[in-house]
Structure 1
Amino acid sequence: MYSSFISRNGNYLGLLLANTVLGSAMPMLIILGGLAGLMLAPSTALATLPASLQALAGLVAAAPFSLLMGRRGRKAGFVTGVFCAVVGALLGVLALYTGSFLLLCSAHLALGAALACYQYFRFAAAETVSAEWQPVAISLMLTSGLIAAFVGPQMFIVAKDMLAPVPLAGAYAALAALSLVGLLPLALTNLPAPTNGAPQSFKERLASLSVLKRKPVRLAVGLGAVSQGIMVFLMVPTPLAMIGCGFSEAVAGDVIRWHVVAMFAPSFFTGFLIKRFGVHPIALIGLALLIVSSIAAQSGLTSAHFYGSLVLLGIGWNFGFIGATTMLANSVSADERALVQGANDTVIALVSTLCAFAAGAIIAGFGWVVLAAVSLGLLVVATAVFVKEMRVVA
């Protein structure tokens, strides 16, 4: 089933391979941001600044990358993203050799922009296949995250001491090499040319954003933001909450590992479920799973509660996020893609950033149970709105 689909779509295969290779940078950067920051920061309070700037860069770069792809094509946009990754990785090496915290922050700004660019592989995938196969194409594209979850950390372990005696510099150098390798399958693809006409003025672009008021588009953007935001809201403070409950770092890390597996493993069949039953029912199941995840998190502080909650959180995110991406791909014309997709990913990045900061404040001030209760309340409201809007769209 999968092999026949991929074999009939050579361009899709190229995108899938490129995304798998380039996406392996993400888990490496989760590890590197904190460790390198701790090494070079003038105070421990600033140790997480490179990782925070990386997230900020993703927020700022999402829309410009989409507009670039709309004007110059997907391939030009992805090549630019790879260029940002290579520059960022080399700056990381230089920062560690010179002991410059400023250079390290600059490195993660460039790397954050690259990660934002790679998010558009899911939309590019939908454009290489017929409309009926779009959910499958989007879903299978996200399976690359499952591979990255295992390849990225292993690459970090192998490469981190390659440039000894400077610790971690080898991992940044490996990121640069990995990015260049990711260009090879991308070079073999023949992606559709951009369909946008003459460049729009700022006023015309602003007027074009009125497409976001359309109910199907508004529903897709809202669903994607809720799915991603709640996932970040519960995932980010999980290790801190578990350690506070007396669990070891190894157990907390294992919970996150299975959460990541749950996020991406369902992608092997989510697209086929959407193709069989429709996007709205699958998206609604995703929201229901997120609700059950919040209830499980609120119900106890044993390892079983944490494992169960985070696995359900991952599956719920998968159904909701793939559902939202499919809905958006089906709701806009070729001329609207660049602007709407850029706005969509900017909204998602903004909500994710706000949820990450809010989660940190709530877990520090009120604890895990209150955090879970807040997520449950937000999800109940979001699900009620989704059901109401879905009936209108239907």
Structure 2
Amino acid sequence: MHRQVFLLATAQALFQIVSVLVMTIGGLAGSILAPSPEWATAPIAAMFLGTAVSTVPASMWMTRVGRKIGFVTGASLGTLGGLVAAGGMMTSSITLLCVGTFLAGCYQGFAQFYRFAAGEVSDDGFRPRAISLVLAGGVVAALVGPLLARWGGELLQPTYTASFLFLSVASALAVGVLLGVNVPQSVDTADERAAVRPLREIVLQPTYLVALFGAVTGYGIMILAMTATPLAMVHHQHDLAATSTGIQLHVLGMFLPSFFTGSLIARFGVLQVMLTGITLLTGHVLFSLSGTGFYSFTAALILLGVGWNFLYIGGTNLLTRTYTTAEKGKAQAANDLTIFIVGLAASLSAGVLQNTMGWQALNMWLLPWLGMAAAAILWLRISPKGVAIRV
């Protein structure tokens, strides 16, 4: 059991290197090739489009063929995507660059199920920690991803070509790791198959809706702010080294808490951890409003990362309590599809909002969203259903 969680955490680290690379340099590479500044974040949006369109097919296909084949397929798409994106830089084609990041997004569509696979190979007592430990693989990405973005920036010409080649190498290494993964195919009994509820009935459970809204809030706000950050920092005269350091600290904030988030959920309850995430994201907004110096950016980004961690892991943990084994495919797919549609909208709008509103005004508009998420979690907490899920 623990070996499988370790392999999944390693695969998560390699996948997150890919994601961090695109998030760090996607907008900067796009600004070189895009016809106007508003389209600078198109490569990042293309990644989330790839994730959105691949999530449901990935889930349904893995239900049929198993996790290993699905995960290897996803990492193979990432390998191809890095090569195509590098080709886009060499030919000055933003279309080709976006096709490459779209394929990286398809890789992300498969990789999002690593955390669910960790739950499937774990017993009830270890499950929250297993999910957290797999996501903790992103700590490696926090250290390595921005460094590869920085080193690859000028290693080959045109600029950022080598960074996308590094993306391809990380994906290829993930293929090798995932060949060792063995997630048992769940066998549904006849009674379980007969008791499968329609997707609408699963989704309309109050607990499912709050889990989904919490995860969507954490992910959407994180993607919007993280996508806008490199553009905002360059606009305020910070260089690539400072921008990479800011992203590095942000990604550490995203994944370093994963070593203990599961324990916090076990001790204080999932809803309390999600509310703490809301508080930390509010802190991100306040630091963003405090100024545009390096320390204001980095403090805000660290809180953004930790807040995302608590909301995303908390939402994932809460979601696993809302469906049966036979229902997991469609329940998980609906959750992740919604998350990545919001991520797509956030990444596509980040460039426009940054150029029209500016960094501080953009962040101020996040407060109503956070308020609605807090209200939803508090409502579930005081409801009879909430009482049953506090531990």
Query: By the TM > 0.5 criterion, same fold?
Result: yes
TM-superposed deviation, 1:46: 5.2
Query: 1:124 Cα deviation (Å)?
Result: 0.8
Query: 2:102 aligns to what?
Result: 109
Within the alignment, does 1:270 sit opposite 2:227 as a pair? no
Q: Percent identity?
A: 32
- 1:73-126 deviations in Å (ceiling 9; x for gaps): 111210110221122233335545656554333222212111221111111111
Q: 1:248 to 1:110 in 2, by over 3 A?
A: closer
Query: Match for 2:185 among 150, 174, 193?
Result: 193
Per the alignment, do residues 15 and 46 of structure 1 end up closer, same or farther by CA in structure 2, a change over 3 Å counting?
Answer: same
Matched residues in 2 for 1:121 and 1:52: separation? Answer: 22
> Offset of 1:269 from its aligned partner?
0.9
- Equivalent pair of 1:28/1:156 in contact (CA under 8 Å): yes
Root mean square deviation of aligned Cα: 3.1
Partner of 1:176: 168
Contact kept? 1:224, 1:325, Cα under 8 Å: yes
Give the letter aligned to residue 382 of structure 2.
Answer: R
Amino acid at match of 2:107: A
Aligned to 2:362: 371
Alignment correspondent of 1:284: 275
One-letter amino acid of the counterpart of residue 308, structure 2: W
Q: Quick one: distance in 2 between partners of 1:366 and 1:97?
A: 33
Aligned with residue 305 of structure 2, among 314, 320, 327: 314
Residue by residue over 1:30-79, the C-alpha shift from the partner in whole angstroms, topping out at 9 and shown as x without a partner, is 35534654666577765543332222111111121111122221112101
Residue of structure 1 equivalent to 2:389: none
- 1:124 paired with 2:113, answer no
Distance 1:363 1:266, change over 3 A: same
CA contact (8 A) 1:219 1:389 kept: yes
Which secondary structure does the structure 1 equivalent of 2:326 belong to? coil
Task: Output one character per residue of 1:306-341: Cα deviation in whole Å (capped at 9) or x when no partner.
Answer: 333222222111111110011112221111111111
Shift of 1:220: 0.7
Residues 247-293 of structure 1: CA deviation (Å, up to 9, x unaligned)? 55544443332222111111111111112222111111111222232
Q: Secondary structure at the match of 2:184?
A: coil
- Equivalence for 2:331: 340
Q: Structure 1 residues 209, 196: closer, same or farther in 2, change over 3 A?
A: farther
1:210 maps to amino acid: E
- TM-score, reference length from structure 2: 0.85
Residues 291, 380 of structure 1: 8 Å contact kept = no
* 1:255 and 2:239 correspond: no
The gaps in structure 2 that reach 5 residues or longer are 191-195, 387-391
* Residue 102 (structure 2) pairs with residue 134 (structure 1): no
**Which amino acid in 1 is paired with 2:266?**
K
Q: Partners of 1:84 and 1:235 in 2: how far apart?
A: 24
Given the superposition, is the C-alpha separation of residues 281 and 261 from structure 1 closer, same or farther in structure 2, using an over 3 Å criterion?
Answer: same
Q: Distance in 2 between matches of 1:307 and 1:157?
A: 17
Residue by residue, what CA displacement relative to the aligned partner does 1:195-217 show, whole Å, maximum 9, x if unpaired? 4699xxxxxx9942320001111
The equivalent of 1:150 in structure 2 is: 143
Give the CA deviation at 1:157. Answer: 5.5
Per the alignment, residue 193 of structure 2 pairs with none
Whole-angstrom distance in 1 between the partners of 2:239 and 2:166: 30
Q: How many Å separate the matches in 2 of 1:243 and 1:93?
A: 23
3-state DSSP of counterpart to 1:50: helix
Q: Give the Cα separation in 1 of the matches to 2:261 and 2:158.
A: 44
Count of residue pairs the alignment pairs up: 381
Instruction: Report how far residue 360 of structure 1 moved.
Output: 4.0
Q: Do 2:220 and 2:339's aligned partners in 1 also have CA atoms closer than 8 Å? A: yes
Once the 2 structures are TM-superposed, how far is the Cα of residue 139 of structure 1 from its aligned partner? Answer: 0.9
* d(CA) in 1 for partners of 2:27, 2:360: 26
Shift of 1:186: 1.9
Whole-Å separation in 2 of the counterparts to 1:157 and 1:333: 45
Aligned to 2:211: 220
